[in-house]
Structure 1
Amino acid sequence: MSRIALKAFLGLLVRVLFRPRVEGAENVPATGPVILAGNHVTFIDSLFLALVMKRQVFFIGKDEYVTGKGIKGRLMAWFFGMSGMIPVDRDGGHGGVAALMTGRRLLEEGKAFGIYPEGTRSPDGRLYRGRTGVSRLTLMTGAPVVPFAMIGTDKVQPGGKGMPRIAPVTVRFGTPLDFSRYEGMDRDRYVLRAVTDEVMSEVMRLSGQEYVDMYATKAKAA
């Protein structure tokens, strides 16, 4: 099955079962590089985002999703490959750099690149401090950032595990954010933090989540 056929089939299935509401889709450029930056509350966020978008969205994902053995492993590798996931060893010493450079390459090719600035799924449904990868990408490539919010996906798949449940889902896109005023400042840590915080502020406004000024990984460890 081709990627287009798979998206059409899954899109129909999602529309029939979940009837997702999409708000602000006109804010996503039809062509050219764009960074889609949003909250991350459950495993299937990327699936819903990809299915409500007219454009193909590329994501970075753990390489373990496509290196599994047996029938299940091959099915997962096929599915994630067809859905636009780019596997990267994010647990290695250079995982963050590899993910950043992959995103940069895709944007320079004019693609739509999806990123979750929190770096991992929220442990409790709140919105956590963003990491600066999103700001590095927009300043290196000049691509606009379209903030988005996934609302209700945590009810579809609580905890990111188990079979999905039927629950209403809203995908809300904000207006594009232009950071060209910071051109050439992608190594300034104060600028990187300011850009990231502006993106997260918009995500918080769109999602209505409570904000926690702490990295989600630290919250999970605690």
Structure 2
Amino acid sequence: MSSLAFMRATLGPVLRLMFRPQVEGAENIPGTGPVILAGNHLTFIDSLILPVCCERPVYFIGKDEYVTGKGIKGRAMAWFFRGAGMIPVDRDGGRGGVAALMTGRRVLEEGKVFSIYPEGTRSPDGRLYRGRTGIARLTLMTGAPVVPFAVIGTDKIQPGGKGMPRPGKVTIRFGEPMEFSRYDGMDRDRYVLRAVTDSVMTEVMRLSGQEYVDMYATKAKAA
């Protein structure tokens, strides 16, 4: 049994007991082939709850610092995050965005499910912020369909995205697959990239019911 399968088997029941996730639209995730899951990001535990709510293994990127710690604690964290489906990437360097994009492309070309938060970071106030165009590049480069999703309630059980989460109820809502084959060969057109990204974020907003803010979350945090 792989570490990912082991984590799903052991951690899954605990998360289901703590957060009683209600899943809507799971049938919208194709059973085979590459799939991009794109959704909102409210708190740290989003990436732990989402894989529990999917039949297929879900992969996502995370900071490499989560798996580079020393000692027993560092090894335990590395085992945990890798087992949860995280692929470590140095996102702080000048080429962090490119590395993340290429990692996602590799996962999709292997026919797997790759999860991404187009906002690029957690929402600072529970609202939905402008999406970055990496999501558009991924779908246009690979031809993988995008399944939009919304996580609802995690900000209530882990306010501020920090500290130990408390028991509560979470909803994961998946929308219908979106495909953008009409834009084949246009993955370098910035207007197309923005249009594709905005259409995905519109679906995420519809699914989540969040207020939309037309600015990047990182800029909002800096302000």
- TM (norm. structure 1) is 0.98
- Aligned-residue Cα RMSD (Å) equals 1.0
For 1:165 and 1:37, how far apart are their aligned partners in 2?
A: 25
For 2:65 and 2:103, how far apart are their aligned partners in 1?
A: 17
For 2:112 and 2:218, how far apart are their aligned partners in 1?
A: 29
The residue aligned with 2:78 is 77
- Residue ranges of structure 2 left out of the alignment (5+ in a row): none
Amino acid corresponding to residue 141 of structure 1 in structure 2? T
Whether 1:32 aligns to 2:3 is no
Aligned-pair CA distance for 1:6 = 2.1
Whether 1:48 aligns to 2:49 is yes
For 2:104 and 2:4, how far apart are their aligned partners in 1?
A: 20
The residue aligned with 2:5 is 4
SS state at 1:140 partner = helix
User: Matched residues, percent identical?
Assistant: 80
Runs of 4+ in 1 over 3 A off after TM superposition: none
The residue aligned with 2:128 is 127
1:163-222 per-residue CA deviation (whole Å, 9 max, x = no partner) reads 111111000000000100000000000000000000000000000000000000000000
Aligned-pair CA distance for 1:69 = 1.9
Aligned-pair CA distance for 1:5 = 2.7
Amino acid corresponding to residue 37 of structure 1 in structure 2? A
The residue aligned with 2:90 is 89
Moved more, 160-169 or 206-215: 160-169
Aligned-pair CA distance for 1:42 = 0.1
SS state at 1:101 partner = helix
Amino acid corresponding to residue 6 of structure 2 in structure 1? A
Moved more, 91-100 or 153-162: 153-162
- Residue ranges of structure 1 left out of the alignment (5+ in a row): none
1:144-175 per-residue CA deviation (whole Å, 9 max, x = no partner) reads 00000000011121111111111110000000
SS state at 1:35 partner = strand
1:96-145 per-residue CA deviation (whole Å, 9 max, x = no partner) reads 00110110111011010000000000000000000000000000000000
For 2:156 and 2:113, how far apart are their aligned partners in 1?
A: 27
Moved more, 66-75 or 146-155: 66-75
SS state at 2:41 partner = coil
Amino acid corresponding to residue 88 of structure 2 in structure 1? P
Moved more, 70-79 or 142-151: 70-79
The residue aligned with 1:214 is 215
* Contact map agreement 2:6 2:83 (CA 8 A) in 1: no
The residue aligned with 1:59 is 60
Amino acid corresponding to residue 59 of structure 1 in structure 2? F
The residue aligned with 2:181 is 180
